[in-house]
Amino acid sequence: MRISEMSVNLDGLPPSVEVKGELSLLDPLSRNSALEFCIYKVFHCDGLLLCISQCYRIVVWNPLTGQTRWIESGGVLSRKFALGYYQDEKSNTRSYKVLSYFNVYDDRNSKIYDFETDSWRILDGDSVGRPACKGDEQMVSFKGNSCWFANEENPELDVYLLTFDFATDKFGRVPLPYKPRYYGRLSVVREEKLCVLLQQNFWSKSEIWVTSKICETNKGVSWSKVLEFDLRPHNLELPLAFLFDEEKKVVICCDRWFDENDDGYGKDMVYIVGEDNNVTQKEFGLGEYYSCLPAVLNYFPSLVQIERAGGKKRKRLDT
C-alpha cells in the first residue's frame, strides 16, 4: 500500500487534484535498514495513523513527528483494529487505546490495548452487551470513538452504525435515517460531524446525511440531508470511500476503475462531484494490488506525542 499526500483545490473551475508525495515507514525488524514496513490497512485518529500489515503486525505512527508505537497483536488471523482515545476533562490530556475484534462480535473475542499499561485485556460481557453482529470493513474516528456500519445475522433487521466508546469501553448503536439497499459509506466532516452517503436503491440518487451530536444513549440522533446527486450518468456506483465539504456542498470520492481490455488491471481514481452533478476525475495510480483498495482519509497533521511503552507519558503539545 502507498500512503500519499493529496492536495484538493475546490475553488477552481473545474476543481483540481494533485498528488503531493508519498509517505513511508521503515521496518525495524528487517535486516535491510532501507526496507519499508508493508502496510495493508490504515486507520486515522487525531493525527495518528494505525497501520496494519497482512501478518497483523500493528504500529501507531505520527507522520509529522516520526514517532511510532509498535504493538504486539498476537498474530491472530481475521482480526480488525481501531484506534481511539478518551479525554480527561480536568487535565485536558488524551489517553489512547486500540480496539481488536473479529468480524463477528461477541464478548469472547474483543480486546483493548491501553497505551498507559502497554497491555491487552479482554472486554467482559457488560462491555459488549448485545447480540452478535457483522461489521463493515470501513471505519471512521469521530471525536475519539470508532464508528462503522453493521447489521445483525438476520438480514431482515435494519442496518445501523455500530460505535465503540473508548472512555467506557462499550459498544453502542446509532440508527440511520433509513435502511439503505447497500451498506452505504461513512465519513466525518472536520471531526465535527458524522456523515453518511446512502442510496435507497440502485436507481436512486446518492444522498449525504450529517449529524453533529450523538447522545450517550445513541437513540436521540438527528440526521439532516444536506446534498443529493446522481452518479449513474457517470457510470459510478457507490464509491469505496468519500470526503464531504459541507460549505461548498462537494463530495470527493475514490474508486477503482477496471478496463476489461487491459488484462484486468485497475486504475485508482478520485472523483469530485457537487450539486450540479458535474464530475471532475483524476487518476492517481495503477491498482496493482487487488487486495489493497483505494481510500481517502481526512488526515490532518498533529503534534500529538505518542506515549512511551510502560506507562511513561509524553506531554501532549497543542497546535
Instruction: Give the DSSP letter string of 2-63.
Output: -EEEEEEE-SSSS-EEEEEEEE--B-TT-SSTTPBP---EEEEETTEEEEE-TT--EEEE-T
pLDDT band at 195 (very low <50, low <70, confident <90, very high): very high
Q: Is residue 61 part of a domain?
A: yes
Nearest to 164 by CA among 136, 144, 186, 183: 144
pLDDT band at 107 (very low <50, low <70, confident <90, very high): very low
pLDDT band at 261 (very low <50, low <70, confident <90, very high): low
What is the pLDDT, as a whole number, of residue 8?
81
Q: Is residue 64 part of a domain?
A: yes
- Tell me how far the alpha carbon of residue 295 is from its chain's centroid: 9
pLDDT digits (tens, 9 = 90+) for 15-60: 887 777 778 888 888 877 778 888 888 899 999 999 988 788 899 9
Q: Is residue 113 part of a domain?
A: yes
pTM, full prediction: 0.84
Q: Is residue 57 part of a domain?
A: yes
Q: Is residue 30 part of a domain?
A: no
Higher pLDDT, 265 or 67: 67
Total of domains in the chain: 1
pLDDT, averaged across the chain:
78
Q: What is the arithmetic mean of pLDDT over 144-160?
A: 76
Determine the Cα–Cα distance for residues 274 and 296; give it in Å rounded to an integer. Answer: 17
How many CB atoms are closer than 10 A to CB 284? 16
Q: Is residue 27 part of a domain?
A: no
Q: In this structure, what is the dihedral angle of CA atoms 191, 132, 217, 187, given to the nearest 10 degrees?
A: 20
pLDDT digits (tens, 9 = 90+) for 284-315: 765 555 556 777 887 878 888 886 665 444 44
Residue 102 burial (10 A CB sphere; 0-12, 13-18, 19+): middle
Determine the Cα–Cα distance for residues 43 and 306; give it in Å rounded to an integer. Answer: 16
Amino acid at the residue 273: V
Inter-residue contact 111 to 120 (CB < 8 Å) = yes
Q: In this structure, what is the dihedral angle of CA atoms 160, 162, 168, 169, given to the nearest 10 degrees?
A: 150
Going by their DSSP bridges, the two strands 160-165 and 170-175 should be labelled as: antiparallel
Q: Is residue 73 part of a domain?
A: yes
pLDDT digits (tens, 9 = 90+) for 158-175: 788 888 899 988 888 888
The boundaries of the domain holding residue 131 are 49-174
Is residue 209 over pLDDT 60?
yes
Q: Is residue 56 part of a domain?
A: yes
